[in-house]
Structure 1
Amino acid sequence: MPTRLSVNINKVATLRNSRGGNNPNVVKVALDCERFGAEGITVHPRPDERHIRYQDVLDLSQVLTTEFNIEGNPTEKKFVDLVLQVKPAQVTLVPDALGAVTSNAGWDTIEHRSRLIDLVGMFKEAGIRTSIFVDADERMVEGAAETGADRIELYTEPYAHQYSIDQSLALNSFIKAAERANALGLGINAGHDLSLDNLRYFQQNIPGLLEVSIGHALICDALYYGLENTIQLYLREAKAGLI
């Protein structure tokens, strides 16, 4: 299956919030992303609402026509209640620390197994596809499978960091993790610091990669190339060899 591109619009909300008001309009940008070819929209609301606000999530849920992916820390009751209210196509469970600038680690699916089983069961009962954010570690992949999750999202910052130094070495643990996920029947998503520079190599070498969620690099590139052109460039990299 071709890899789908989900655009994370958190940075658009960050820009809006920096001046107040509603410029840029988060909902309009999300709809434009869909119109320009994005196959999904991702948001990651945090308790302090420093970028995406909970009201944004509700507003987006009324108008999006592609897959809606809500990321966040399920230890926050407000987040859980929001997801159950909206019922997006997918929820991605991320173990954010309070005050963290951005996500910086995957779940320890062994230590938090019982809690994750409860959460996954609750979201799946509501008809929501559930993905668990994990490091490229076969043990964590196995732990994710034991929770009943539908997918994992591989945390790709270590790959992006190593890519410019040694491309082959950068991929080793990710290939092993993906192969283990495939063997266990888990779907594979990926995200964090993927860019026009490193996306194609990742996509071409990770077996069974279903979706990439990209925000920071894509929005930065849009400042230079324009949003429509940038989304097309990312789609080309995500589907290398297919289009």
Structure 2
Amino acid sequence: MSKPKLDLLPVELLYEIQLFALSRYLPLASRKLHQIFKSAPPSYVAEYIFLRTSTKPGHVYVKALRYPLCSLNVLQFIRILAEKHSVSLTPTELPRRLFTNLVPRKDGVPWNEQDHPLPFIRGLLAMGFNVNANSDGGYGLVKAVQSGFAPLVRFLLDNDASPGYKDDLAIRVAIRQKNLSMVKLLIERTDRDGSGSRSVNNRNKRRRLEDRVKVTKDMLKIAVKCKAQDIVEYLMNEKGCVPDMQTLYLMR
């Protein structure tokens, strides 16, 4: 007599089994099980993630957001569960998974405000989460710069992301890409009107905003090595960066 197959059990019973087992392998046991759990409602997915994350030390929301299953809809239900267990909305890290697949576009279509992960991060803010734009040593900003995702770069900067992490890695990436507009975006602070200055004492006089990072001789040297002449001129003429002897030799 053949043994009964697990995937022949009622869906509701399978859900209960999984909430008891909390197994990451059960949905992979067969194609049918995979489809069953893939089609699970957000409330169930939220309960599964919450049970897995709340049993481990550390911030529940940080761990929950690492799950690819954790959509904004699922997160709404996780928040309901968390509030029942008195879990507070502490500062939340942005998981690497949001940025890992960002690469330069080959189709020539510019990035826009609706491209992933911008709507997701905006949704987190709308839900009241205080996201840390410098999560994982500024990984998100570097990936956004690398992919040329200017709206995301601007959004992260507006939410206190610092291009100075890891020895100005984001800026060095932009320089190597010979992307002057991106270099300026990373270095210079701009007011909401995009002028790069702000009014003082409600008068017409305006004061230049302080740059996000200090331009370094190393940045200039990289620009010279990459033959990014427009960036070289910007760093020297507009930012007053003086080349060292080695960089002068390379400029000959």
Same fold (TM over 0.5): no
Q: Quick check: which one's strand share is greater?
A: 1
Larger Rg: 2
TM-score, normalization by structure 1: 0.29
TM-score computed with the length of structure 2 as normaliser: 0.29
Greater percentage in helix: 2
